[in-house]
Amino acid sequence: MSYLAGNYKRRKLSFKKGRGSFLYSTDGKKYLDFLSGIAVNTLGHSNPKLIKALNLQAKKVWHVSNSFQIPEGEILAKKLVKRTFADKVIFVNSGAEANEAAIKIARRYFYSIGKPKKNRILCIKNSFHGRTLANIFASGSKKMTEGFGPKVSGFDHFKFSDLKSLKKKITKKTAAIFFETAMGESGIKVHSRKFLKQVKKICNQKNILLILDEVQCGIGRSGKFFAYEYANVKPDIVPIAKGIGGGFPIGAVLMSNKVSKCMIPGTHGSTYGGNPLAMVIGNVIMDEVFKKGFLKNVRKNSNYFLEQLLIIKKNYPHVIKEIRGIGLLIGIKVSVDLANFINKLTKNKLLTIRAAENVVRILPPLNVKKKEIDLALKIINKVCSEF
Ligand SMILES: *Cc1c(COP(=O)(O)O)cnc(C)c1O
């Protein structure tokens, strides 16, 4: 019997500690954690630098509210701006909040330049942007919105990576095109660089803002700091969360100077957003991800992992349909029962998580070791042989 509401289907597993890429269960077993709290534990568990930063700040000041200057947040914002397209940052606490703020900023921008009717947001059908009311209707997913009407209006939808479908849905009222640079929850689907470039071109031609949700694929997960860098396009607004906190809840919206100007005092706010405790942690993550060789190593490990998974796919064509992914955001599309496959991985001490389209999602910490990838491959191979 649990006093928690039943909105999650939880596995019968709990943990007493985590170290690096491993989790230790309360019943004394050691698991390879290749879901990282859903792309959150960028540096694995119990990273000494994160522990140190947290402990130091805990003895100084935790929270003061945004009525005051927060120097730790200024430092983190500067780091984010220096390394990306962005000129300004707003801190929040989660991915859904970051996306909500992104939608608000896009609408407010057109309002501020005298075009209040240019307020519709064009999203991908069956995408994922979080569980708030606006975001579930942005996702265009029947499953997520069922029973939560009345519908939040203002969202239109196009088909994944389909330029024709996108062009058809654009009107004079389209304020922003909003999608994940590489889609996580909805099945590890990566847009081609060409598609991203074409979308950006359309945005330029039609005075539409480009919002790229990098809540899951950002912060090095793709092998670049942001996945959009592969296509060399410049977005206007990028919501982030998950990986920037490494386990501490942090979200943020990055934006260009142009759109940031509309965000005058009173237009947005958050009680917790960007508090000193969160900010010192974000600073550690940024410093680690931008250490020389860190992102290169993510790409190297990704290449190795994907290459080896393709070999397993070749050996078990009746089990594995497709290998998908970018960086360490990896998907195995299976032809067998997904829950059964993930259960078998768990029984063999490898933790993963599902994504849409019958895909097993694999999200190791970004500082994962090659021998840990080898261990995961061995387990995946073994489980495939059981079908
Ligand atoms: C997880 C996720 C969100 C929602 O983030 P929360 O922190 O759970 O609110 C939004 N967008 C994408 C792409 C995500 O993966």
Query: What is the per-residue pLDDT across 238-291, written as a single tens digit (0 to 9) for each?
Result: 999 999 999 999 999 999 999 999 999 999 999 999 999 999 999 999 999 999
Enumerate domains of the chain plus CATH numbers: 15-47+294-385 (3.90.1150.10), 49-289 (3.40.640.10)
DSSP 207: T
pLDDT of residue 259: 98
**SS3 of residue 325 by DSSP:** strand
81-98: per-residue pLDDT in tens?
Answer: 999 999 999 999 999 999
Our answer on whether the CB atom of 100 is closer than 6 Å to any ligand 1 atom is no
Question: On the CB side of 219, how many CA atoms lie within 13 Å of its CA?
Answer: 32
In angstroms, the CA 312 to CA 308 distance is 6
Spatial distance between the Cα atoms of 308 and 306, rounded to a whole number of angstroms:
5
**Nearest CA owner, ligand 1 atom 5:** 95
**Which segments of 141-205 are extended strands (E)?**
155-158, 174-180, 182-183, 189-190
For residue 1, pLDDT over 90 is answered with no
Find the mean pLDDT for residues 179-208: 98
Question: Residues 31-57: what's their mean pLDDT?
Answer: 98
Distance between start and end Cα atoms, the chain: 34
Q: What is the pTM of this model?
A: 0.98
Kind plus residue range of the DSSP H or E element containing 73: helix 71-82
Ligand 1 contact via 213 beta carbon (within 6 Å)? yes
Closest CA to 325 of 343, 342, 338, 313: 313
94 CB near ligand 1 (under 6 Å): yes
Alpha-carbon distance 179 to 102, whole Å? 11
356 CA from centroid of ligand 1 (Å): 14
Residue 215 in contact with ligand 1 by CB distance below 6 A:
yes
Alpha carbon of 90 to ligand 1 centroid (Å): 17
Q: Which residue has the tokens 């994907």?
A: 306
**CA atoms of 56 and 41, how far apart (whole Å):** 20
* CA count, 13 A, side-chain hemisphere, 102: 38
Mean pLDDT of 286-315: 98
Question: Which pLDDT band holds residue 160 (cuts at 50, 70, 90)?
Answer: very high
Report how far residue 322's alpha carbon sits from residue 360's, in angstroms, rounded to the nearest whole number: 11
Interatomic CA distance for residues 72 and 277, integer angstroms: 9
**Ligand 1 geometric centre to CA of 27 (Å):** 30
Please compute the mean of the pLDDT values over residues 44-52 and round it to a whole number: 98
**Is residue 335 over pLDDT 90?**
yes
Q: What is the pLDDT of residue 221?
A: 98
CA angle 298, 14, 40 (to 5 degrees): 30
Whole-number Å distance between alpha carbons of 212 and 260: 16
Q: How many Å apart are CA 290 and CA 321, to the nearest integer? A: 35
DSSP 93-153: SSHHHHHHHHHHHHHHHHHHTT-TT--EEEEETT----SSHHHHHHHT-HHHHTT-PSPPP
* Residue from 40, 92, 99, 100 whose mutation best tests the ligand 1 pocket (most atoms within 8 A of CB): 99
The answer to whether 327 and 300 are in contact (CB under 8 A) is no
| 359 within 8 A of 367, measured Cβ to Cβ | no
Q: Rounded CA gap, 47 and 42, in Å?
A: 10
Strand 209-213 to 174-180 pairing: parallel
From residue 275, how far is each of 242, 266, 278, 282, 303 by CA, in Å?
16, 18, 5, 11, 37
Expressed in angstroms and rounded, the spacing between residue 242 Cα and the centre of ligand 1 is 7
155 bridge partner residues: 121
In this prediction, residue 36 has a pLDDT band, given cuts at 50, 70 and 90, of very high
Q: Is 185 in the pocket of ligand 1 (CB under 6 A)?
A: yes
386: helix, coil or strand?
coil
How many Cα atoms within 13 Å fall on the side-chain side of residue 46? 10
Which pLDDT band holds residue 168 (cuts at 50, 70, 90)?
A: very high
Q: What pLDDT is stored for residue 118 in this prediction?
A: 98
